[in-house]
Structures are given as C-alpha cells and as structure tokens.
DNA sequence: ATGGTAGCGCTGCTA
C-alpha cells in the first residue's frame, strides 16, 4: 500500500502537475494540503478519471486539505475541534478509512514567528490534534497522519541548523508538540527507512533555495506501530519540485507491506 | 544581501 502526502500550493495552479505525478507515482492514497479551493470547486472529476475517490475540506483561497484513494474510501470526517476558531483557519484536517487504514490529511498552521499569536495558535492546534487522537483513534490499529506539519522534527531535517536558531518550525515548543503526537503512538515512517541529514520536502521559492539545497523536512507521514513495522520503500520525490510551475513542496511517499 | 518568489486577486496578505 503506497501512501503519499503533498502540499500542492493551490490545485488551481497545480492540477496538471498533480495529475502527472499521480499517473507515474500511482499512490493508493494521496493526502494533499493547501488545495486553496472550496469543496464546491474541488476538481473531483479530474481525479475520478484517474481512478480515485476523493474527500476534500476547504473554503477556498487559503488552506484546504484532501484525500484521494483508489482502494476505497469510507467514513469521511472533516475538521476537528474549532480549528482555531476563525474562518481563515478552516480546512486543515480531513480523514477517511482507506482500505483498513485510517488516513488523515493535516495542514498545521504556519505559526509565522515565534511568540506571535499565530505561533500560539499553531501550538494550540497541535495540542488539539493530540486530543483528537486520544479521543477518536487507537494506536494499536493502522493509522497514518500525513501532511505539512510546519515543524522540522530534528536538526538533521534542516539545511543549516545554525541559521534556524530562534526561528519558527524548529523551536522547542513546536518540536515538543510534535513529540507529544509520537508519544501517543505515532512513528515518523520516513525515518524508519533513512537516517541521513539533507533530505528535505520544502524549499523556499526565493533566492534559488531549491537549487542551493537550502530546505527543510516538514512534510511527514506519521503512522501507528502496525504500519511502522511494515515500512518498505520510501521517497521524497525531488523531481516533482523541478520543472515548470512546481509547488514549493515535494511529495513524500511511503510503501507499507500490507494488503 | 534582513533580500528573494509564488498564489490570490486587486491591495496587500500569506507562506
């Protein structure tokens, strides 16, 4: 079973690239973030043509999360708690049962700068996600929480840790909020396969950061032990970050040796 | 070098 996650940075701008990638990567399940479309304008037919059912949760313009599945889709849930309470914060969580695996697509608030109200909202959101897991999920059953966490778990996930001192995405409270999810029962599937530094999933569009290898690994596939014990092939597809009109994120995919 | 680019949408915000 191949599960992938990709912050596409607008489906309106990215649909041809996403269709192209789905055709050659052939994920069984693809979680997307920052679709930047409303439910009513989500391009469901384009994905149906490729053989995928879809669930989307978003209001347009900002945020928006989706799940595509070609192995069935049941029991879709959209949103949790109040997602920060404001309309602009909506569209950050959707989940569905795909085959025997509960899959969630999450878009964690960016947080902007350490100490800002947006930063606190990010920490609150991550805490709410943990509460949701405690109340609705079971770490002994197959679960994959995939998405743009806007947190680099460790310094090896940064191109130059010295340049991130005091910065958002790496602060201790953010990393502890992520670690609290793992403490509940989630494992970073990509790190089951690779230990080395320098493997990034996001690069700033500006200043040639991608071509200078200045990136971070903030897009994660977090799974419960029944899946963590069955990680096969895994990859961050840097090729999808090249060429015309790329997203600023690369897709992350993980194969699990399950039916 | 405290810069730079992209998306949305029309002014400046968000990332």
A13 touches strand B (CB under 7 A): yes
Is the Cβ–Cβ distance between A103 and A29 less than 8 Å? yes
Q: Cα(A61)–Cα(A64) distance, rounded to whole angstroms?
A: 8
Query: pLDDT-derived band of residue A178, with 50, 70 and 90 as boundaries?
Result: very high
Q: Mean per-residue pLDDT for A203-227? A: 97
| Close Cβ partners of A8 (under 8 Å, ≥ 6 residues apart) | A14, A17, A18, A32, A33, A34, A35, A247, A249
Q: Is the CB of A10 under 7 A from strand B?
A: yes
Give the pLDDT score at A88. Answer: 44
From residue A240, give the alpha-carbon distance in Å to each of A16, A61, A83, A173: 12, 23, 30, 31
A105 CA to B4 C1' distance (Å): 30
pLDDT per residue over A110-168, tens digit each? 999 999 999 999 999 999 999 999 999 999 999 999 999 999 999 999 999 999 998 99
Domain of A159, CATH number, reads 3.60.10.10
Q: Which residue is nearest to nucleotide B5 (CA to C1')?
A: A206
Contact of A199 with A236, CB cutoff 8 Å = yes
Domain that holds residue A223: 2-256
pTM of the model: 0.97
Q: What is the pLDDT of residue A259?
A: 75
A73-106 pLDDT per residue, tens: 999 999 976 555 554 457 999 999 999 999 999 9
Give percent of chain A with pLDDT exceeding 70: 97
- The whole-number pLDDT of residue A163 equals 94
Nearest 5°: phi and psi at A231? -75, 125
pLDDT at A89: 55
Query: pLDDT value at position A185?
Result: 98
The number of domains in chain A is: 1
Q: Of A51 and A259, which is predicted with more confidence? A: A51
User: Can you tell me the mean pLDDT for A235-248?
Assistant: 97
pLDDT digits (tens, 9 = 90+) for A22-50: 999 999 999 999 999 999 999 999 999 99
The residue lying closest to nucleotide B3, measuring its CA against C1', is A207
Average pLDDT in chain A: 95
Q: What is the mean pLDDT of residues A217-244?
A: 98
Catalytic positions of A: 107, 148
> What is residue A249's predicted lDDT score, i.e. its pLDDT?
98
Contact flag, residue A118 CB and nucleic strand B, below 7 A: yes
pLDDT of residue A80: 79
The nucleotide closest to A35 (CA, C1' atoms) = B7
* Strand B atom within 7 Å of A36 CB: yes
Residue A87: its pLDDT value, please? 45
Whether the predicted pLDDT of A184 surpasses 70: yes
């Amino acid at each position: 079973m191949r599960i992938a996650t990709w912050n596409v940075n607008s489906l309106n701008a990215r649909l041809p690239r996403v269709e192209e990638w789905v055709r050659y990567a052939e994920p069984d399940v693809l979680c997307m973030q920052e679709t930047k479309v409303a439910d009513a304008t989500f391009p469901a037919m384009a994905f149906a043509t490729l053989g995928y059912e879809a669930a989307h949760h978003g209001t347009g313009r900002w945020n928006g999360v989706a799940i595509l599945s070609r192995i069935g889709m049941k029991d879709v849930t959209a949103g949790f708690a109040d997602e920060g309470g404001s309309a602009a914060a909506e569209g950050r969580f959707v989940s569905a049962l795909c085959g025997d695996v509960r899959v969630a697509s999450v878009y964690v608030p960016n947080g902007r700068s350490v100490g800002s109200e947006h930063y606190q909202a990010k920490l609150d959101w991550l805490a709410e996600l943990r509460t949701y897991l405690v109340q609705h999920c079971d770490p002994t059953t197959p679960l994959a929480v995939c998405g743009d966490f806007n947190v680099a778990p460790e310094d090896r996930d940064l191109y130059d840790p010295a340049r991130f001192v005091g910065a958002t995405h790496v602060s201790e409270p953010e990393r502890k909020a992520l670690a609290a999810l793992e403490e509940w029962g989630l494992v970073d599937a990509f790190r089951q396969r690779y230990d080395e530094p320098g493997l990034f999933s996001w690069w700033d569009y500006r200043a040639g950061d991608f071509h200078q290898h200045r990136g971070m690994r903030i897009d994660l596939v977090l799974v419960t032990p029944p899946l963590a014990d069955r990680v096969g092939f895994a990859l961050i597809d840097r090729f999808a970050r090249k060429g015309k009109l790329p997203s600023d994120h690369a897709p992350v995919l993980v194969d699990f040796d399950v039916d």
